[in-house]
């Protein structure tokens, strides 16, 4: 007995189609295992992507709130009446507050950029895993078709070897009747 590609022992007289079928079935099993592993990985990557989207929404909200506060403050610039009432200190207070709000907008940018990068990376990983799964599915379909062809070949060999209507080796029904009908 020798070991075939599938790792199982085979008899020396085993037909080539049966050996090929065993190897194809082993490859199909490997492809199915790859699909199952990809499905598990996709579930984890989907959770990771959802978390990255949540962080992005939070960072974008914080940046948007800071930008809105700065814009509103910019619109509320003190006029001459306020300057006179505050003895010309209102403008310097306004500038200091505006600088603080602009700094908050600037400080909100890096977390937003990091969140965008993290989401992009999560989406890329997800897409790559989906592509790998699709390739494994294509391989499994191809192997399933090849297995069916090998089974048909084995069935054809078995039918050719089996005598029909008592006539060994002819394989044609009614050959024993003498051809008369």
6-32: per-residue pLDDT in tens? 455 555 556 788 889 999 999 999 999
**Does residue 175 lie within any of the structural domains?**
no
- Residue 77: the pLDDT is 74
The domain tally of the chain equals 1
pLDDT tens column, 87-127: 677 778 888 888 999 999 999 999 999 999 999 999 999 99
Kindly list the distances between the CA atom of residue 56 and the CA atoms of 5, 42, 61, 111, in Å, as whole numbers in the listed order: 49, 20, 8, 8
Q: Which domain holds residue 123?
A: 16-155
Span 135-156, pLDDT tens digits: 999 999 999 999 999 898 888 8
- Asked whether residue 5 is assigned to any structural domain, the reply reads no
Q: Say if 8 falls within a structural domain.
A: no
Helix/strand/coil (H, E, C) string of 54-117? HHHHHHHHHHHHHHHHHHHHHHCCCCHHHHHHCCCCHHHHHHHHHHHHHHHHHHHHHHHHHHHH
In a domain, 75, yes or no: yes
Report if residue 27 sits inside a domain. Answer: yes
Q: Would residue 125 count as lying in a domain?
A: yes
């Amino acid at each position: 007995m020798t070991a075939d590609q599938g790792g199982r022992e085979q008899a020396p007289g085993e037909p080539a189609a049966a050996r090929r079928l065993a190897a194809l079935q082993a490859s199909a099993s490997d492809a199915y295992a790859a699909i199952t592993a990809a499905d598990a990985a996709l579930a984890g990557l989907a959770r990771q992507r959802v978390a990255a989207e949540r962080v992005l929404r939070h960072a974008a909200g914080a940046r948007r709130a800071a930008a809105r506060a700065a814009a509103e403050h910019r619109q509320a610039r003190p006029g001459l009446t306020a300057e006179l009432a505050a003895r010309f200190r209102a403008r310097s207070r306004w500038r200091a507050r505006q600088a603080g709000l602009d700094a908050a907008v600037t400080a909100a940018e890096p977390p937003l950029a990091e969140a965008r990068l993290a989401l992009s990376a999560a989406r890329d990983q997800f897409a790559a895993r989906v592509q790998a799964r699709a390739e494994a599915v294509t391989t499994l379909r191809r192997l399933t078709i090849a297995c069916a062809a090998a089974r048909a070949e084995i069935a054809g060999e078995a039918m050719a070897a089996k005598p029909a209507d008592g006539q060994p080796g002819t394989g044609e029904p009614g050959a024993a009747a003498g051809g008369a009908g």
